[in-house]
Amino acid sequence: MKLATIGYEAAPQAAVIQKLKAAGVEVVIDVRAIAASRRAGFSKGLLSASLEDAGIGYVHLRDLGTPKPGRDAARKGRTAEMRAIYEEHLKEPAAQLQLAQAVEIAKGRKAALLCYEAQACGCHRRIVAERMCEAAPFEVEDL
Protein backbone atom coordinates (compact mmCIF):
# COMPACT_ATOMS: atom_id res chain seq x y z
CA MET A 1 0.00 0.00 0.00
CA LYS A 2 1.29 3.42 -0.90
CA LEU A 3 0.97 6.52 1.26
CA ALA A 4 2.00 9.91 -0.06
CA THR A 5 2.90 13.11 1.72
CA ILE A 6 2.84 16.58 0.20
CA GLY A 7 3.56 20.13 1.29
CA TYR A 8 2.23 23.17 -0.52
CA GLU A 9 4.72 25.79 0.70
CA ALA A 10 6.36 26.40 -2.68
CA ALA A 11 3.58 25.56 -5.13
CA PRO A 12 0.28 27.01 -6.35
CA GLN A 13 -2.88 24.99 -5.73
CA ALA A 14 -3.16 23.80 -9.36
CA ALA A 15 0.37 22.36 -9.26
CA VAL A 16 -0.31 20.55 -5.99
CA ILE A 17 -3.53 19.04 -7.34
CA GLN A 18 -1.73 18.01 -10.54
CA LYS A 19 0.98 16.27 -8.48
CA LEU A 20 -1.67 14.47 -6.44
CA LYS A 21 -3.49 13.30 -9.58
CA ALA A 22 -0.26 12.19 -11.26
CA ALA A 23 0.55 10.10 -8.18
CA GLY A 24 -2.88 8.46 -8.21
CA VAL A 25 -3.96 9.97 -4.89
CA GLU A 26 -7.64 9.35 -4.16
CA VAL A 27 -7.98 11.21 -0.84
CA VAL A 28 -6.07 14.00 0.88
CA ILE A 29 -5.72 13.80 4.65
CA ASP A 30 -5.14 17.34 5.86
CA VAL A 31 -3.01 17.11 9.01
CA ARG A 32 -2.85 20.82 9.78
CA ALA A 33 -4.09 21.95 13.19
CA ILE A 34 -5.57 25.01 11.50
CA ALA A 35 -6.86 24.39 7.98
CA ALA A 36 -6.53 28.02 6.98
CA SER A 37 -3.77 29.50 4.91
CA ARG A 38 -2.55 32.82 3.64
CA ARG A 39 -1.58 30.95 0.48
CA ALA A 40 -4.35 31.23 -2.11
CA GLY A 41 -6.39 28.05 -2.52
CA PHE A 42 -5.23 26.22 0.60
CA SER A 43 -7.88 27.13 3.16
CA LYS A 44 -10.13 24.20 4.01
CA GLY A 45 -13.29 25.15 2.07
CA LEU A 46 -11.63 26.16 -1.18
CA LEU A 47 -9.09 23.33 -1.05
CA SER A 48 -11.79 20.75 -0.36
CA ALA A 49 -13.96 22.02 -3.24
CA SER A 50 -11.02 22.15 -5.67
CA LEU A 51 -9.94 18.62 -4.75
CA GLU A 52 -13.51 17.38 -5.17
CA ASP A 53 -13.63 18.97 -8.64
CA ALA A 54 -10.46 17.02 -9.44
CA GLY A 55 -12.00 13.76 -8.21
CA ILE A 56 -9.95 13.63 -5.00
CA GLY A 57 -11.53 13.26 -1.57
CA TYR A 58 -10.65 15.48 1.39
CA VAL A 59 -10.57 14.79 5.13
CA HIS A 60 -9.33 17.20 7.79
CA LEU A 61 -7.93 15.44 10.86
CA ARG A 62 -7.27 18.49 13.05
CA ASP A 63 -6.01 16.51 16.05
CA LEU A 64 -3.07 15.29 13.94
CA GLY A 65 -1.91 18.89 13.58
CA THR A 66 1.08 20.29 15.40
CA PRO A 67 0.36 22.28 18.58
CA LYS A 68 1.38 25.95 18.44
CA PRO A 69 4.72 25.48 20.28
CA GLY A 70 5.64 22.80 17.73
CA ARG A 71 4.68 25.04 14.80
CA ASP A 72 6.78 27.84 16.29
CA ALA A 73 9.79 25.50 16.63
CA ALA A 74 9.36 24.29 13.04
CA ARG A 75 9.23 27.88 11.74
CA LYS A 76 12.54 28.57 13.48
CA GLY A 77 14.11 25.45 11.95
CA ARG A 78 14.26 23.61 15.29
CA THR A 79 13.14 20.26 13.90
CA ALA A 80 14.23 18.16 16.90
CA GLU A 81 12.24 20.40 19.25
CA MET A 82 9.18 20.24 16.96
CA ARG A 83 9.50 16.46 16.83
CA ALA A 84 9.66 16.16 20.64
CA ILE A 85 6.61 18.39 21.08
CA TYR A 86 4.70 16.48 18.42
CA GLU A 87 5.63 13.06 19.81
CA GLU A 88 4.13 14.17 23.15
CA HIS A 89 1.01 15.47 21.36
CA LEU A 90 0.52 12.11 19.63
CA LYS A 91 0.01 10.46 23.02
CA GLU A 92 -3.25 12.39 23.45
CA PRO A 93 -6.40 10.25 23.02
CA ALA A 94 -7.85 12.53 20.31
CA ALA A 95 -4.63 12.31 18.29
CA GLN A 96 -4.52 8.52 18.73
CA LEU A 97 -8.11 8.25 17.50
CA GLN A 98 -7.43 10.36 14.42
CA LEU A 99 -4.20 8.47 13.71
CA ALA A 100 -6.25 5.26 13.65
CA GLN A 101 -8.76 6.98 11.33
CA ALA A 102 -5.94 8.01 8.99
CA VAL A 103 -4.68 4.43 8.84
CA GLU A 104 -8.15 3.12 8.00
CA ILE A 105 -8.69 5.76 5.31
CA ALA A 106 -5.31 5.00 3.74
CA LYS A 107 -5.93 1.25 3.78
CA GLY A 108 -8.99 1.79 1.58
CA ARG A 109 -7.75 4.42 -0.88
CA LYS A 110 -4.39 5.89 -1.86
CA ALA A 111 -4.00 8.82 0.52
CA ALA A 112 -1.70 11.81 0.79
CA LEU A 113 -0.92 13.57 4.07
CA LEU A 114 -1.03 17.31 3.42
CA CYS A 115 0.69 20.07 5.36
CA TYR A 116 2.46 23.35 4.63
CA GLU A 117 6.21 22.62 4.68
CA ALA A 118 7.71 21.79 1.30
CA GLN A 119 10.20 19.29 2.73
CA ALA A 120 8.69 16.36 4.60
CA CYS A 121 11.85 15.90 6.68
CA GLY A 122 11.12 19.16 8.55
CA CYS A 123 7.40 18.55 8.93
CA HIS A 124 5.27 16.62 11.40
CA ARG A 125 3.60 14.79 8.48
CA ARG A 126 6.74 12.62 8.35
CA ILE A 127 6.04 11.57 11.96
CA VAL A 128 2.40 10.83 11.10
CA ALA A 129 3.55 8.70 8.17
CA GLU A 130 6.03 6.84 10.41
CA ARG A 131 3.27 6.06 12.93
CA MET A 132 0.95 4.93 10.16
CA CYS A 133 3.68 2.57 8.92
CA GLU A 134 3.83 1.01 12.39
CA ALA A 135 0.14 0.14 12.06
CA ALA A 136 0.09 -1.06 8.43
CA PRO A 137 2.64 -1.88 5.71
CA PHE A 138 2.58 1.46 3.89
CA GLU A 139 5.25 2.50 1.44
CA VAL A 140 5.74 6.26 1.87
CA GLU A 141 6.33 8.54 -1.08
CA ASP A 142 7.06 12.25 -0.56
CA LEU A 143 5.59 14.15 -3.50
| Total structural domains within the chain | 1
Rounded to 5 degrees, what are φ and ψ at 3? -135, 125
Residue 59 belongs to a domain with what CATH number?
3.40.1010
DSSP string, 84-123: HHHHHHTTSHHHHHHHHHHHHHHHHS-EEEEES-SSGGGS
Answer whether 3's CB lies under 8 Å from 27's CB: no
pLDDT digits (tens, 9 = 90+) for 13-52: 999 999 999 999 999 999 999 888 888 899 999 999 999 9
Residue 121 has pLDDT above 90, yes or no: no
Mean pLDDT of the chain: 95
Query: Domain residues for 74?
Result: 2-142
pTM: 0.95
